[in-house]
Amino acid sequence: MMIIMRPGAPREEVDAVIKAVEDNKLSAHPIFGVQQTIVGAVGEGHYVAKEVFEALPGVLEVQRISKPYKLASRQFQEYDSIFDFDGFSVGGTEIPIIAGPCSVEGRSQILEIAHAVKEAGANALRGGVFKPRTSPYAFQGLGEEGLEYMAEAREQTGLPLVVEVMAVSQINMMERYVDVFQVGARNMQNFNLLRALGESRTPVLFKRGMSATIEEMLMASEYILAGGNHRVILCERGIRTFETATRNTTDINAVPVLKKLTHLPVVIDPSHATGDSDFVEAVAKAGVAAGADGVIVEVHQDPPRAVSDGKQSLTPEAFARMVKKVKAVAEAVDRKLVPQHVAV
């Protein structure tokens, strides 16, 4: 349910509504606006009559949310969520670009890439330190050692870090290093992990599963939101279809559809969507034209020698060219890229 407070309702009335929500075994999720506050009541709400809350002081009206994903829906929050990070925001008129290697392979590699992508216009650095590989014999990542290298890269460049988390046991350690957790496609419905991330207050970049519908993606993201972590960024990274010409099939439709259904920011990952560096720039441009709030791509200084996903990785030079093309598309649809991050 969505409990809409009267404009200017004092905090004590809002607190009384929150207490009533919790007394009815529901979880309360208040949104404090400039003029009006809304309290989301999430849980088995169909057992609780609307009148229970309508009679409380300061309540203007109570609406039931028809979508199964409550907190992610446009019905719960009509305006776009905008999340601020160090040096940029996502969800507004500006479009940030996140770039870096699939895997952190060593100190010199990640430092070199961090400086290169920053110079080309990246706003955040991505890099994998725990790698979910198809084969158990493939490179599995450097773990905390890789995080230490990334932290050094952040210190040198000022770029915030986006790193994939794979297990509940990794969260506490990773919170000391990362600015944004990434949930990969294979973990989209790892509900134990999602619940734990809901208890964290570190933002989450949440990737669509390779065979997931849009509704399944939104329902899974609801696990994080329901835990109290409201800074969730959705990521379209391609889905598995019968087509084999590319690694996955880019669901460009998903960008405007998600923008209609949810207030959460939506970014696109053309690297995993295509699996081929020849197509990354084109799909990045298409995603921005369709309304994406950001782009995340893989960049490696020597893709043929990369330990993972070299085929889909751009060289720093190709990445710089992509940024210029994406900038032109952004301006054509009345958006703009985030200004280059300046380290302090």
Q: 208-256, pLDDT tens digit by residue? A: 999 999 999 999 999 999 999 999 999 999 999 999 999 999 999 999 9
297 burial level (CB within 10 Å; 0-12, 13-18, 19+): buried
pLDDT, residue 32, reads 86
Q: Which residue has the higher pLDDT, 80 or 33?
A: 80
pLDDT, residue 343, reads 44
Claim to verify: residue 331 and residue 189 sit in the same structural domain: yes
pTM, whole model, 2 decimals?
Answer: 0.91
pLDDT digits (tens, 9 = 90+) for 93-146: 999 999 999 999 999 999 999 999 999 999 999 999 997 777 787 777 899 999
Question: Residue 314 falls within a domain, yes or no?
Answer: yes
Claim to verify: residue 248 and residue 324 sit in the same structural domain: yes
Which tokens sit at 32?
């404090």
Claim to verify: residue 89 and residue 59 sit in the same structural domain: no
Confidence of residue 11 (pLDDT cuts 50, 70, 90): very high
Is 152 in contact with 113 (CB distance < 8 Å)? no
Provide the domain limits for residue 150: 83-337
Q: β-strands 37-42, 2-5: how paired?
A: antiparallel
Q: β-strands 294-298, 266-268: how paired?
A: parallel
Residue 248's domain is classified under what CATH number?
A: 3.20.20.70
DSSP string, 138-204: S----THHHHHHHHHHHHHH---EEEE---GGGHHHHTTT-SEEEE-GGGTT-HHHHHHHHHS-S-E
Kindly list the distances between the CA atom of residue 288 and the CA atoms of 156, 190, 225, 330, 335, in Å, as whole numbers in the listed order.
Answer: 29, 29, 25, 6, 9
Claim to verify: residue 26 and residue 120 sit in the same structural domain: no
Mean pLDDT throughout 181-203? 97
Residue 33's domain is classified under what CATH number?
A: 3.30.70.1140
Question: Residue 72 falls within a domain, yes or no?
Answer: no
CA distance 112 to 24: 55
The percent of residues in the chain predicted with pLDDT above 90, rounded, is 86
Question: Residue 104 falls within a domain, yes or no?
Answer: yes
CA distance 128 to 161: 10
Claim to verify: residue 6 and residue 144 sit in the same structural domain: no
Claim to verify: residue 274 and residue 315 sit in the same structural domain: yes
Which amino acid, residue 1?
M
Question: Residue 149 falls within a domain, yes or no?
Answer: yes
Claim to verify: residue 40 and residue 156 sit in the same structural domain: no
Which tokens sit at 84?
């601020």
Question: Residue 69 falls within a domain, yes or no?
Answer: no
Which tokens sit at 276?
């081929």
Is 223 in contact with 216 (CB distance < 8 Å)? no
- The domain tally of the chain equals 2
